Amino acid sequence: MDPFTVRLNLHGDLDFFVRSGARGRPIERSLSEKTSVKDVIESCGVPHPEIDLILINEQPVDFDYAIASDADIELYPVAITDLTFTYKRLQASTFNRFAADGHLGRLTRNLRLLGFDVAYDPRAEDRQLLGIMERENRALLTRDRRLLMHAVVKTGYCPRSQNADEQTVEVIRRFDLLGSIIPFTRCLRCNAPLRKVSKSEIIERLEPLTKIYYEQFRRCTGCGQIYWPGSHFSKLQKRLEQIRANFAD
Ligand SMILES: [Zn+2]
């Protein structure tokens, strides 16, 4: 087979995955055998779950489309603002169950605070993380691009920021979660739902001042942790308001 050349144009914020010196211009690759468009894209450093639309010679294609001759490839992320394409997209636009990798503990806490279901175990190995993602149909959250490129990953996202609050805003945007926020309904420690509990049921476990000053309690249905609107609650409320402020127009 004669060698041929493919040119990739990255739209939106996809050039985040390209080293800074190579941004803002097409990426060229020389190939000498039939190659799936997915393999070409990932060889350039962009994980497939970040790609929502692939156009080759202006036609939309799937990840397994095989390229065998010169081609211009246009790649679009999920958040396409500059286009009005109605083509079928490659990614789920909304998702509310996640598996976060062990480096995203603060993001995990934020998402749980907002009521979202996030599986997280800082000791889990990659294999275990991918296992829970698959078994429980969760979207993968990780800044490890290699992991996001794994063939079993269908839905996932690489937070661009290293700051947990900014990451939280990114995830809400990417998965269209703004309307699904139900704060203080999930345990920050173990991810299980919280249930209202009467003071009399748990009074034995409260500190003397808590007994006096608080009337409303919730208990984790998983680990039994008790939550009430105390000082940590107002701190959480403040963080929640900061996150929400990002969406005010
Ligand atoms: Zn718990």
pLDDT of 209 higher than 90: no
**Ligand 1 centroid to 239 CA: how many Å?**
20
Res 120: pLDDT:
98
Q: How confident is the model at residue 84 (pLDDT cuts 50, 70, 90)?
A: low
Contact 39, 146 (CB under 8 A): no
Contact 227, 218 (CB under 8 A): yes
Average pLDDT along the chain: 91
Contact 99, 135 (CB under 8 A): no
**Ligand 1 centroid to 95 CA: how many Å?**
22
- The whole-angstrom separation of Cα 177 and Cα 196 is 24
pLDDT of 29 higher than 70: yes
Q: How confident is the model at residue 249 (pLDDT cuts 50, 70, 90)?
A: low
The residues placing their C-beta within 5 Å of ligand 1, an ion, are 187, 189-190, 192, 220, 222-223, 225
**Ligand 1 centroid to 109 CA: how many Å?**
12
pLDDT of 186 higher than 70: yes
Q: How confident is the model at residue 82 (pLDDT cuts 50, 70, 90)?
A: low
Q: How confident is the model at residue 212 (pLDDT cuts 50, 70, 90)?
A: confident
- The whole-angstrom separation of Cα 194 and Cα 176 is 24
Q: How confident is the model at residue 22 (pLDDT cuts 50, 70, 90)?
A: confident
Name, in order, each residue with C-beta under 8 angstroms of 193's C-beta and a sequence gap of 6 or more: 185, 186, 187, 220, 221, 222
- Could you tell me the pTM of the whole model? 0.91
Mean pLDDT, residues 206-214 taken together: 87
- The whole-angstrom separation of Cα 57 and Cα 20 is 27
Mean pLDDT, residues 168-191 taken together: 93
**Ligand 1 centroid to 113 CA: how many Å?**
12
**Ligand 1 centroid to 199 CA: how many Å?**
18
DSSP 82: S
The closest alpha carbon to 172, from 119, 111, 112, 117, belongs to 111
Q: How confident is the model at residue 234 (pLDDT cuts 50, 70, 90)?
A: confident
Q: What percent of the chain has pLDDT over 70?
A: 96
**Ligand 1 centroid to 228 CA: how many Å?**
14
Res 218: pLDDT:
93
**Ligand 1 centroid to 144 CA: how many Å?**
27
Mean pLDDT, residues 164-187 taken together: 93
Res 96: pLDDT:
93
